Structure 1
Amino acid sequence: MTTAVEKMQSALDAIERHNSRVNAVISLADPDDLMKHAEAADQVPTEQRGPLHGEPIAIKDLAKAAGFEASMGSPIFKNNLVQTDDIMVARMRAAGAIIIGKTNTPEFGLGSHTFNPVHGATGNAYDATRSAGGSSGGAAVALATGMMRYADGSDMMGSLRNPAGWNNVYGMRPTWGLVPSEPLGDSFLHQLATNGPMARCPKDLATLLSVQSGQDARQPHGLPSADFAKDMEVHALKGAKIAWLGDWGLPFDDGIMDISERAVEDLRALGVDVTAINAPFSMDALWESWITLRSWMVASGVGVFYDDPEKRDLLKPAAIWEIERGFAMTAREVHQQSVVRSMWFKKAAQLFETYDALLMPSAQVWPFPVDWVHPTEIAGVQMDTYHRWMQVVIPAGLIGLPVVNLPIGFGAAGLSAGLQVIGGRGQDAKLLGMANDWYHGTPWKDHAPA
């Protein structure tokens, strides 16, 4: 059995070896103090140890972890040392995790490219001159480079999926409500974002999800936890029926659909009944619903900073764009787009009467240069917003369905890609079981970065 001291030394060695190149972990605690915490963990009797006992974990810098800065990548919160844990972080500590620092994220988590004016940019684990994705980019890179075994993340618009795909790891957006958010502001209307787990293998995803999940009395839509590592064992890829959604009319970089379709053939070789189906809903309608509800939600969350002229000057353009759109919306517009969301939920429910899961690429582009703000065109199609290039992730996120990113290999430039396997509401254990079979049936787990 590996001791907590050995785990901590391994984490610190990996951080020393890789972090100056990729900038994944920020606000690292004093290594001597961390080793003392590990030594203390090794003294805890075996019967008192939790499922994350002695595991070094850095928390995504959108969540509060006592004793660490919570900057959210914003100059507004630079040097914001906090003394309390968010619900999810408290649960991870109670399960035995040793919090070692934070992982980098875009400002307020906006945009699927990890850079901010406080801590800089995070480079891809396989090529530090390329984007790590986001907003859980720091977490994905820390996993890929061996800095830690488990990582938390959060996902509104692909933030647990895109960086996982781009760094050859597993990221899971759980069913909305399974992992409680902080009881701040409105708890009823906003259902686009969720916290969730990331790891190098699905079994570790399941372990962390069991720790993170479960009802909180202050949350009105919470779902009960489960032993996902146990429950996933009854599910398998062989014999599953999966619908392949293809490109759904979206533009993709050269090579993305090719590698995705090869992965579809790999699934068939593993015994999956994969059926290509036509677009089940208007992607344009989904996009209008998404950008309306997202801007409305972002404005309600960070709009208070826009109201303060000094703080407004510190916001990045994407945040200002979202806030101004959200402030300008009428109640009727929001309601109309929530009706579209409801219509898509009903249609998706019909699909899951026939299929165990749906399948789509995790990103429309390969990792782009790290000094870009965002892609401005894909395959000759101009991107009209800062986040249009991630449109492929909204079908699941809009209606709170569980999704796991499956690593599917590497393109010509040596950069990795992923597939989203999307399940019906509450089918988290089923997805984890499928992902576990994929993990053991494919070679990508053996392709660690140099």
Structure 2
Amino acid sequence: MTLTRLSATQILADLGARRLSAAELMQETLARIDAVNPAVNAIVALRDPEDLMEEARAADQGPRRGPLHGLPIAVKDLVEVAGIVSSHGSPTMAGHIPKVDDLLAARLRAAGAILIGKTNVPEFGLGSHTFNPVYGATKNPYDMGLSCGGSSGGAAVALATGMTALADGSDMMGSLRNPAAWNNVYGFRPSWGLVPSEPVGDLFLHQLATLGPMARSPEDVAVLLDVIAGPDPRQPNNLPHQPVAPLTPVDPKGMRIGWLGDWGGAYPMEPGIMALCESGLKVFEDLGAHVEALAPPFSAAALWESWITLRSWQVGAGLAPLMEQPAQRAKLKDSAIWEAERGLGMSAMEVHRASVIRSDWFRKVVAMFEDYDALVLPTAQAWPFALEIPWPTSIAGRAMDTYHRWMEVVIPVSLIGLPSLAVPAGFGDQGLPMGFQIFGRRGDDAKMLALGAAYHAATQWPQKRPAM
């Protein structure tokens, strides 16, 4: 195993014990990026190699700064990082170099990480297919002609190919989960409020998206979660965080897991996805858990109506300044304009009605978790699709009426901010990876990671089938 494919836990232990130098790790990291990244285009805005080597040597000579001391990390290109081009995948921000770090980048830097560049994203993170006019498309390392998912697509590919050991991501509509599934890694969407967002603009109304960690094991996910989680006093909806690393797997024996499948047929699935996910659930049964297939607990149509209203309202608010400038608006992709126009045209009562549906769903889920330790859904409804397609227009013969309808399976989690771990489920007949999402009640983040660790110990998919 090459150095860059070791677990983050092992790398950090070796750095801490000085069995490994930050300079040696940086040299190996840059060599791996040079060998792999031209083909997959996952890491963008890479800093000057000499500057990075100088920073690594300084880390070796200086005092230990934190739990990530000396670890190279590329930050998702929706996060502002001081001194590094932060384009958000949009021509409206091409060449933009922030002077200060966003909160997440600041926490990574304070923990001792060396921020080497960015990971590629769709424009403003819209859509689960990582391509944009600034950097182009990121390719799936299991098949270069296919999408890697998104919006944390560059992050997932960097992990899958051994260019980084940890990666940050963000998730509104599956952006930590879909690319994890399509690249055979783990993505964790924390309970909303556990990882604080940037404390700017509205702090009360827009409760959909969250930042979170990605890695090649739940144990490594836990390491990064401990760095980026925790209250920020400038924000009103914080959740407290107790450290979860080092992560201990839970014994699943006797646990009850509810399998929601395709939601009674409401979510069309491409052939092979359901069977592969069910084979993954068999792992839990072999470990002593009780897995039960469940009937749809709520109207899928109502969830979708609530979701597209609240999402467009949030996206519209975020893009409003660009929409007001004709020259900037003309640079936005069609789906961004469509989403923003929907949001800008909404009434307060439309938003209220959508939030009532969300509240009803939350109350229903609270009751479900009185009987189940975790619930499970597939992570995606489609296998990775052709790189040149903007988004799938049909799944299993059913037409998709929006650019994001094909990701509908993630919204039961996203709509109410539950903790959800995307785990690999193996590979389909075409050799492509897929996964499922394990989610729990709000605040059950440590429990979901520990359950995922038990699954990982029994499967080891990212280690068994590494990309490239």
TM-score (norm 2): 0.94
1:24 is matched with 42
Q: Does 1:247 align with 2:301?
A: no
Rounded Cα–Cα distance in structure 2 between residues aligned with 1:34 and 1:55: 11
1:124 is matched with 140
Match for 2:250: what amino acid? H
Change (3 A) 1:113 1:234: closer
Rounded Cα–Cα distance in structure 1 between residues aligned with 2:136 and 2:252: 40
Deviation at 1:49, TM superposition (A): 3.8
Match for 1:61: what amino acid? D
2:464 is matched with 446
Rounded Cα–Cα distance in structure 1 between residues aligned with 2:191 and 2:217: 19
1:106-117 matched pairs, under 5 angstroms: 106-117=122-133
The correspondence for 1:11, drawn from 18, 24, 29, is 29
Match for 1:26: what amino acid? V
Question: Where does structure 1 lack aligned partners over 5 or more consecutive residues?
Answer: none
Is the contact between residue 236 and residue 430 of structure 1 (CA under 8 Å) also seen in structure 2? no
Which deviates more, 358-367 or 246-255? 246-255
2:207 is matched with 191
Match for 2:172: what amino acid? M
Deviation at 1:3, TM superposition (A): 1.9
Rounded Cα–Cα distance in structure 1 between residues aligned with 2:281 and 2:56: 43
Rounded Cα–Cα distance in structure 2 between residues aligned with 1:102 and 1:434: 31
Rounded Cα–Cα distance in structure 1 between residues aligned with 2:344 and 2:224: 37
1:347 is matched with 364
The 3-state SS of whatever aligns with 2:58 is helix
| Identity value in percent | 57
Deviation at 1:235, TM superposition (A): 3.1
Show CA shifts across 1:38-82 (max 9, x none): 11111134xx34111111000000001111111101100000011
Show CA shifts across 1:405-449 (max 9, x none): 110101111110011001110000001101111111114122101
The correspondence for 2:114, drawn from 84, 98, 113, is 98
Deviation at 1:381, TM superposition (A): 0.2
CA RMSD of aligned residues (A): 1.0
Match for 2:379: what amino acid? S
1:79 is matched with 95
2:382 is matched with 365
The 3-state SS of whatever aligns with 1:218 is coil
Show CA shifts across 1:132-180 (max 9, x none): 1000000000000001111000000000000001000000000000011
Deviation at 1:17, TM superposition (A): 1.3
Rounded Cα–Cα distance in structure 1 between residues aligned with 2:206 and 2:251: 33
The 3-state SS of whatever aligns with 2:129 is coil
1:42-61 matched pairs, under 5 angstroms: 42-45=60-63, 48-61=64-77
Rounded Cα–Cα distance in structure 2 between residues aligned with 1:359 and 1:229: 24
Is the contact between residue 172 and residue 208 of structure 2 (CA under 8 Å) also seen in structure 1? yes
Which deviates more, 292-301 or 8-17? 8-17
1:272-283 matched pairs, under 5 angstroms: 272-283=289-300
Which deviates more, 9-18 or 276-285? 9-18
1:398 is matched with 415
The 3-state SS of whatever aligns with 2:197 is coil
The 3-state SS of whatever aligns with 1:305 is helix
Rounded Cα–Cα distance in structure 1 between residues aligned with 2:87 and 2:288: 46
Is the contact between residue 404 and residue 422 of structure 1 (CA under 8 Å) also seen in structure 2? yes
Match for 1:400: what amino acid? G
2:227 is matched with 211
Rounded Cα–Cα distance in structure 2 between residues aligned with 1:344 and 1:421: 18
1:224 is matched with 240
Is the contact between residue 249 and residue 452 of structure 2 (CA under 8 Å) also seen in structure 1? no
Rounded Cα–Cα distance in structure 1 between residues aligned with 2:77 and 2:133: 13
Q: Does 1:387 align with 2:410?
A: no
Rounded Cα–Cα distance in structure 2 between residues aligned with 1:345 and 1:133: 28
Q: Does 1:334 align with 2:319?
A: no
Match for 1:11: what amino acid? T
The 3-state SS of whatever aligns with 1:421 is strand
The 3-state SS of whatever aligns with 2:213 is strand
Rounded Cα–Cα distance in structure 1 between residues aligned with 2:408 and 2:239: 28
Match for 2:22: what amino acid? A
TM-score (norm 1): 0.98
The 3-state SS of whatever aligns with 1:408 is strand
Show CA shifts across 1:301-338 (max 9, x none): 11211111111100111111111111111111100010
Rounded Cα–Cα distance in structure 1 between residues aligned with 2:159 and 2:340: 33
Match for 1:206: what amino acid? A
Q: Does 1:154 align with 2:170?
A: yes
1:140 is matched with 156
2:427 is matched with 410
Show CA shifts across 1:170-192 (max 9, x none): 00000000011111111000000
Rounded Cα–Cα distance in structure 2 between residues aligned with 1:162 and 1:407: 11
Is the contact between residue 305 and residue 312 of structure 1 (CA under 8 Å) also seen in structure 2? yes
Deviation at 1:228, TM superposition (A): 1.1
Is the contact between residue 235 and residue 429 of structure 1 (CA under 8 Å) also seen in structure 2? no
Deviation at 1:234, TM superposition (A): 6.7
Rounded Cα–Cα distance in structure 1 between residues aligned with 2:294 and 2:384: 28
Q: Does 1:375 align with 2:392?
A: yes
